[in-house]
Structure 1
């Protein structure tokens, strides 16, 4: 039954579920009667009013809704840094595209090229942390984010729709017009049109960029690492020393 439905009916239902609305509550905010059940079953076609409300309230691209575009979000408020292309599997579920170091060099210039995205590997993570949002993976180049992120590790980022929704001191994948950077982001209080990008490695100086030059923004929430190293001897000694101090404290408390 699901496969016989029109693409707009399936995507309409997907939007409702992502927004965590019931059929009744979604109908209320869209002004379409008592329930959206008939729309989701394909019995009632999407009206222009509903399409307008989806764009107005959730920035849903009408072309994406009807299967004519891969760009789901089309912000009407400016400062849009949401994904320009969303990758999908055959069942129309979003996938996590992986952008290695070589691909990252061309990413800013192919950011709206649907065919280019199809050359990238993609996968799904069946965990609740990766639901109801768009994610993308990027391979880190260089040592500017040491010690937290090492060269060649992969970071997974959750899409951010606008700079206004970005949080200070969080780590982001920042897609500029000519490069892709992984940095801690800080808003510039006296210059709202700029943000400061900070490396964790103190050998690198912060840089300021114009908000208008940011094409996409992804908040890093996890990473993929390989070749996990054993703790160094000095670290083990510190841990052992701390354990001994804790034990001494416990003994002293028993004697008092």
Structure 2
């Protein structure tokens, strides 16, 4: 019989990933369900331990209670761009990924033909030289007030996940989604926290190996610029309040 700590850790992995016993069994190549493993009736096979390592970077020593490090960071985990496009003069293009294209971006990240459907251009500004940049459209309101839905961010490719700055905003390309977030690494933790600027959205915890590409936001393209200042808005609000008071008195 497997020891209780190993069983508990196995169950914690499955629940943490959000799989049912049947779904987890299918992923690990176990017949029908992981129920017998979780009840301690069946020992963890070498194949299951191998799949946990290969698919989720689970440290086998941690699984068997001989280490406190749950995940093994894979040395070949790379966050650099998988495809770079160039123009007829061999200069790098800045590819634009709109919200609709972003839905298919993670699955097509290495497909050179897929990128041909995306608009691309060269921005002849010194700040955009000597590095790879990509444009992404912001979807949703999780980064308000800094980034509004529909705006575009222009972001520079990050070469190494260790270069992440907690004071910057990043486009994070995961295995199934594209997010615009701040990134923080809690002290003594393997995991990363994806932070929204809009406090209505809770932090989102990920493992480093889940990141396919990482882009640091350097600028944004905004629309609907007007001449109203914050002082102007405040004055309008004060005038509205005075009008309301007069109406109430009347």
TM-score tier, shorter chain, comes to 0.5 to 0.7
Report the equivalent of 1:235. 231
CA offset at residue 231 of structure 1? Answer: 2.2
Q: Does 1:223 find its partner at 2:220? A: yes
Rounded Cα–Cα distance in structure 2 between residues aligned with 1:235 and 1:207: 36
Contact 1:157-1:221 within 8 A present in 2 as well: yes
Q: Does 1:165 find its partner at 2:159? A: no
Contact 1:141-1:152 within 8 A present in 2 as well: yes
Rounded Cα–Cα distance in structure 2 between residues aligned with 1:77 and 1:237: 52
Q: Does 1:156 find its partner at 2:154? A: yes
Q: Does 1:199 find its partner at 2:175? A: no
| TM-score between the two structures when normalised by the length of structure 2 | 0.62
| TM-score between the two structures when normalised by the length of structure 1 | 0.60
Report the equivalent of 1:78. 76
Q: Deviation digits for residues 223-242 of structure 1, max 9, x if unmatched?
A: 1111124426x632669xxx
Q: Deviation digits for residues 37-58 of structure 1, max 9, x if unmatched?
A: xxxxxxxxxxxxxxxxxxxxxx
Report the equivalent of 1:143. 141
Q: Which residue, 155, 175, 178 being the options, matches 1:177?
A: 175
Rounded Cα–Cα distance in structure 1 between residues aligned with 2:103 and 2:233: 42
- Any idea what SS the aligned residue of 2:220 has? strand
Rounded Cα–Cα distance in structure 2 between residues aligned with 1:127 and 1:208: 36
**C-alpha distance 108-237 of structure 1, shift in aligned 2 (>3 A):** closer
Uncovered stretches (5+) of structure 1, i.e. residues with no partner: 1-75, 240-256
Uncovered stretches (5+) of structure 2, i.e. residues with no partner: 1-73, 236-250
Q: Deviation digits for residues 103-150 of structure 1, max 9, x if unmatched?
A: 000000000000001110001111111111000000010000000100
- Size of the aligned set, in residue pairs, is 163
Rounded Cα–Cα distance in structure 2 between residues aligned with 1:211 and 1:114: 25
